[in-house]
Every structure is written in C-alpha cells, then in structure tokens.
C-alpha cells in the first residue's frame, strides 16, 4: 500500500477563507491538470510529518508546521492511502518549482466543491 501526505494550508482574504491547491506537470491520465493540496508520496518507513514538511518545501519553497492529521482516506488511485494534515505556513510571496508544478492557486471551499478541475478525492474531502 502506498501512502501520500498532503497539507491543508489556508489564509483569509478580506474575511474569506481560501485554500492552497497545486496542479502537477505530470500526466495523471483523466486527472491531468487537476488541483489538489500540496504534498507527495511517502518513502517506506518515512515519518508523516517529516515527509509533509519536506514535500511541501521541495514544491513550494515554504516552511510548514504540521498541526494535526485531519483524516486518512482511501485514494482515487488503487492501493493508495492519503493522509490529510492541517498545516500552518507563513507565505509572503507564492513561488513554486515549475519543473514539478504547473500551477498554484488559492480556492474558496465553494470553488473546490464545485470546481471541474479539482481532484475527486480533494473535492470529497472538502465536501465533508
């Protein structure tokens, strides 16, 4: 079984809570170009928090502090478990590794729930 760890990072803009989602440059078949929380696949035996901090640092060049695990769900990908973590981050300027990511955007919860290019597991998580 593979494990993925993702960070739920939010900010308030004029009183509206927004969440940071990324889109990969990789080909994910029918999910190519879809948005999901930053994170990545874990190595066997890797600590969840260590993996989360490292994956996000590698993609977004920011430091995050894992607060708590919000959920552990089965994935849209066969034999994969996703660990959803609430994270705190200080982001002055949004930057990202363009060799890994196609785009990075802030979404409201409604935009995530109703969006066409939101990864299904992400949509499902935000609906709950």
pLDDT averaged over 10-residue windows placed end to end, the chain, 128 residues: 95 95 92 95 93 96 96 84 94 91 96 94 92
Spatial separation of the C-alpha atoms in residues 94 and 104, rounded to whole Å: 8
**Residue closest to 84 by CA, chosen among 112, 30, 121:** 121
The pLDDT of residue 57: 96
pLDDT for the residue 128 = 82
Q: Which CATH number covers residue 94?
A: 3.90.79.10
The whole-number pLDDT of residue 63 equals 94
> What pLDDT does residue 124 have?
92
Domain with 17 in it = 2-127
Number of structural domains (the chain) is 1
Strand, helix or coil for residue 125: helix
pLDDT of residue 90: 82
Q: Which CA distances in Å does 116 have to 33, 34, 102?
A: 11, 8, 17
């Amino acid at each position: 079984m593979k494990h993925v760890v993702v960070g739920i990072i939010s900010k308030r803009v004029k009183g509206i809570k927004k969440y940071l989602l990324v889109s990969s440059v990789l080909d994910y078949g029918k999910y190519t170009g879809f948005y999901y929380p930053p994170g990545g696949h874990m190595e066997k035996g890797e600590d969840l928090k260590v993996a989360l901090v490292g994956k996000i640092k590698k993609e977004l060049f920011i430091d995050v502090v894992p607060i708590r695990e919000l959920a552990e769900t089965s994935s849209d990908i066969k034999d994969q478990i996703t660990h959803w973590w609430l994270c705190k981050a200080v982001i002055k300027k949004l930057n990202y590794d363009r060799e890994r990511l196609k785009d990075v955007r802030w979404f409201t919860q409604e935009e995530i729930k109703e969006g066409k290019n939101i990864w299904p597991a992400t949509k499902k998580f935000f609906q709950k």
